[in-house]
Structure 1
Amino acid sequence: MWQPSVVMYPLSVLLLLFPQAQFKTTHNPFIVSGNFEEDFEDYLTEFYGTGSTTEPTKEKFKRKMIIVPGRQIHISNEEYCSHAILFKNIHNKLRCVKEHYFLQEPYEEIRKICYNSFIKCKNGIRKCNRSKKMMEGLYCKLRRGTTSPDCEYESFYKRGLAIITCKWQNSIGELVPVSINDISMPY
């Protein structure tokens, strides 16, 4: 005679059969005014992301890489780089960056470098562009510290040919500078 068998499954396996619930946050724990909410969300995405997944923008380059053109750089002030890097919020997930360059040139002059021929970057990869004219800038080298805001930098004034990397920005349809690789003397 045939008898039906009953299979017993643990509750956790049975719960897998239910459709997944989709939760929606109704409360934002961060109090940010409406004007800055989108910028703040972009910042959090970039901060907690796995890498540079955000599209390069000229606004970001202007904010993080350019010192106001025509303004006097007071290199005698040893804390110039430390203050500039802290003020411009330059870090890698709150870790101090080992070095950083600032250029003291108008953005349009720097953008023209993107259309120059490729040269080797400091790391040996042939994806950098070099300026055709001398530019002024500032080199910041980490002196001590590991996490922001405890980073201390040495400041070095540099005048030479700027070596930068560029990427395509889809929203405006042009090459934009992304980072400054070096400011070197002409050969």
Structure 2
Amino acid sequence: MNFLEGLAGLPPDDLFTYPPPPSVPQSPLGEMVPVRALSCPLLLFLLLGLWVAKIPINVKPTNTTSAQWFEIQHVQPSPQACNSAMGKINKDKKNCKNLNTFLHESFSSVATTCQTPSIACKNGRKNCHKSQEPMSLTQCEYTSGRYPDCKYKGKQLDAFFIVACEPPQEGDKKYSLVPVHLDDVV
């Protein structure tokens, strides 16, 4: 006995011999329409909504290399207030990023870190590199507001940083390896 038979309390042949109640959808020919046919578009819509909600907000913008996006997100030679500095980062995804770290060095200085010995990244890949000395940086932590009025609290510190490096893409500055991800601050 399947679920519908048990629910209806009717033998299998009786399930479809009685006219359906008025709330059951019918085709123009008076036939019952399977409920799954009606719920399929709704199910697809719900699944699409869940998929879109899972898109990470820190994905780089189109027409930007990973190194260029790293520079936008993390390289800030002259310290700026977090609320204004985060505006450019939040603009593309139209969302408030929870945490971001700015390195107060030039891109070329950060790129030289890619020449230090390789170490394991948090994800297990062996393309990370640790700075040779502590550097000035600012960590901007989201506190309140909704895009575009995101509010941040800044924390200044001197610390080592670990970056993931990869070969440059077309359009990148000419280095043998370029930073593409800030993996950690230690």
Instruction: Report the TM range for the smaller structure's normalisation.
Output: 0.5 to 0.7
In the other structure, the counterpart of 1:10 is none
In the other structure, the counterpart of 1:183 is 185
Matched ranges for 1:18-167 at <5 A: 52=60, 56=65, 58-68=67-77, 71=78, 73=79, 80-86=81-87, 88-90=88-90, 93-121=93-121, 123-126=122-125, 127-145=127-145, 147-167=146-166
Q: Aligned equivalents of 1:108 and 1:117: distance in 2?
A: 17
Percent identity over the alignment is 24
CA contact (8 A) 2:144 2:151 kept: yes
* Ranges in structure 2 where 5+ consecutive residues have no aligned partner: 1-58
CA contact (8 A) 1:141 1:154 kept: yes
In the other structure, the counterpart of 2:12 is none
CA contact (8 A) 1:91 1:97 kept: no
In the TM superposition, what whole-angstrom CA distance separates every residue of 1:19-71 from its partner, at most 9, and x where no partner exists? xxxxxxxxxxxxxxxxxxxxxxxxxxxxxxxx557663554433332222xx4
Q: Secondary structure at the match of 1:158?
A: strand
Identify if the C-alpha distance between structure 1 residues 157 and 60 changes in structure 2 by more than 3 Å, giving closer, same or farther. Answer: same
CA contact (8 A) 1:64 1:90 kept: no
Higher helix proportion, which one?
2
Q: What number of residue pairs does the alignment pair up?
A: 124
CA contact (8 A) 2:103 2:138 kept: yes
Q: What is the CA-CA distance between 1:165 and the residue it aligns to?
A: 1.7
Q: Aligned equivalents of 1:119 and 1:151: distance in 2?
A: 35
Q: Aligned equivalents of 2:86 and 2:70: distance in 1?
A: 14
Q: What is the CA-CA distance between 1:124 and the residue it aligns to?
A: 4.8
Identify if the C-alpha distance between structure 1 residues 120 and 92 changes in structure 2 by more than 3 Å, giving closer, same or farther. Answer: farther
Q: What residue identity is the alignment partner of 1:102?
A: F
Instruction: Give 1 or 2 for the bigger CA radius of gyration.
Output: 2
* Ranges in structure 1 where 5+ consecutive residues have no aligned partner: 1-50, 75-79
Q: Secondary structure at the match of 1:180?
A: strand
TM-score normalised per structure 2: 0.55
Q: Aligned equivalents of 1:124 and 1:170: distance in 2?
A: 22
Q: What is the CA-CA distance between 1:144 and the residue it aligns to?
A: 2.1
> Larger relative CO (CA 8 A, sep 6+): 1 or 2?
1
